[in-house]
Amino acid sequence: MSIDSDVSQDNQNNENQQENTTITKNKQEEKKNKQKSSKSKKDEDFIVLDIPDKLETLKGRIINCIIDTIKRKPLIKEKDLVLELVFNCEQARKFYEENHETQYFRFLIHDLAKKKKILKVKLKGDEKHTYYILPEQLNMFKK
């Protein structure tokens, strides 16, 4: 009798394990489907226009000033870039006059570098200083 009860209990345990694995597989599939649907919503088609005059946000205007400054002066240090912004960019100048703070400019520069909109480079033999260039300017400096 004990052998029969052990066998029936083992069968019941096996059935429970199979049910549990199918439930977890179903949950995993549901999670994957949700992730796929959210990703497909993010991939909507749209066109990005670069019209600096139409920007309404301070962040967008200062980012355009950063990119324009790097276009004019490739291989510029962060300190020099911030100074150029304060002296040559109207929006950055107003922001600096109100807040007397350059940390926001540095944040935007690092954010652009993280998104690969601008590149951080170091010169060979000068590991102390970090310079910024645009990705399209990289070919000018390659040998």
pLDDT for the residue numbered 95: 92
Could you list the residue range(s) of the whole structural domain that residue 18 is in? 1-43
Please tell me whether residues 60 and 89 are part of one structural domain: yes
Please tell me whether residues 31 and 63 are part of one structural domain: no
Please tell me whether residues 62 and 109 are part of one structural domain: yes
Please tell me whether residues 78 and 11 are part of one structural domain: no
| Closest CA relative to residue 75, chosen from 105, 27, 120 | 120
pTM value? 0.63
Please tell me whether residues 81 and 61 are part of one structural domain: yes
Q: Which pLDDT tens digits describe the chain residue by residue (143 residues)? A: 555 565 566 666 666 666 666 666 666 677 666 666 555 555 567 777 666 666 678 898 899 999 999 999 989 999 999 999 999 999 999 999 999 999 999 999 999 999 999 999 998 898 899 999 999 998 887 76
Please tell me whether residues 65 and 126 are part of one structural domain: yes
Please tell me whether residues 134 and 72 are part of one structural domain: yes
* CATH number of domain containing 75: 1.10.10.10
Task: Give the number of domains in the chain.
Answer: 2
pLDDT for the residue numbered 8: 64
Torsional class of 58: left (φ above 0), alpha (ψ -120 to 50), beta (otherwise): alpha
Sort 65 into a burial class: Cβ within 10 Å, 0-12 / 13-18 / 19+. Answer: buried
**What is the end-to-end Cα distance of the chain in Å, rounded?**
85
